[in-house]
Structure 1
Amino acid sequence: MARAGLTAERLTRAGAELADEVGFDEVTVSALARRFDVKVASLYSHLKGSHDLKVRIALFALGELADLAAAALAGRAGRDALTAFADVYRDYATEHPGRYAATQFRLDPETAMASAGVRHAQMNRALLRAYDLAEPDQTHAVRLLGSVFHGYVSLELNGGFSHSAPGSQESWERILDILDALLRQWPAASSHPGNE
């Protein structure tokens, strides 16, 4: 019998909190059961297992992050939108490192297409409209932004910039300036050996 008060939603939220405390990789049904002081078996009426829990946390985190990004982008365009979008990701990763890690969890294609990850892609493309990029350059730009944001945030979270000057905030702002300039002056496609 399911323990009163436990629901899949409550367990997912608790799993997200646990991920922020101990790291997403350490989240298991057993760890969650200890958190609620219940037997592992009592959670299986709500969760299929640790993989199911991680998928639920990933979907929760993607939704939460998409809502924050949408609110930050409202009424903004160009450099202002780029900064707002980037800052949401960086702030979310800093405040919720386990949840941020969950947003990188590989979902099966059907689940991914039904997730808020689609909203992230749509917002990314919406902010790029101010830069007037046509395909396939828009896709290249989406990949560039994702790589820069995720790479910077990952290095920063792992202490990669803590012992050198200038400070990471100054570098972050400079990188956003450079990205804005690059997007405004996007280079024309060139032919490379092997691409012809």
Structure 2
Amino acid sequence: MKALVTADTLLGDETTFLFSEDVPYRVFPSRVIKNDYSKRDNFITLDIGIDQGIEPDMGVVTTNGILGIIDISSNRFSRVISILNSEISLNAQIKGSNVIGSLTWDGNDPYMMSLVDVPRLAKVTKGDTIVTGRQSTTFPPDILIGTIRDAQLVENGSRYKIDVALFNDMTDIGTAYVIKSRDVKPLQIIDTLTINVNE
């Protein structure tokens, strides 16, 4: 992912930004005005909303990696389902490979997530980078997530459960960028996302 530029005044015009494959996405800068990270199901509030074109299901990132997905917007504010939410599952992969899995959070450590459903024949190496997958319809591919801290075979040795140390410090987030996905025919394989909107 190319670097995003932080603006002094965030409520400005949207920016067109090129992620991987030189595909343009629309990017909306915002400030985080509330950030939960100590609950099992956490949410983040941003200071932009419908008036700035923000809609549910848009991805949210920082310059260090993914934050979550918009689920509710009012005229001036939006709520983000944080990646630190036990009911969210996102498509992710090991960078530089075709190995994919589901990124989940167990509700405990705000600095760690898990990549699950990775087949046992996959090459998994401590220190490898985890990024958003190419099957995601919410995020551009190759957005940073974290690095592999540890991996264990589960389900009678058929699959890996991988501990992922996040690049983002989810306890200290000030600036966020909302991404509007490119206008293409939706993929048949999409992010798995089930959420109870009641905190």
**TM-score, with length taken from structure 2:** 0.25
Pick the structure with greater CA Rg: 1
User: Higher strand share goes to which structure?
Assistant: 2
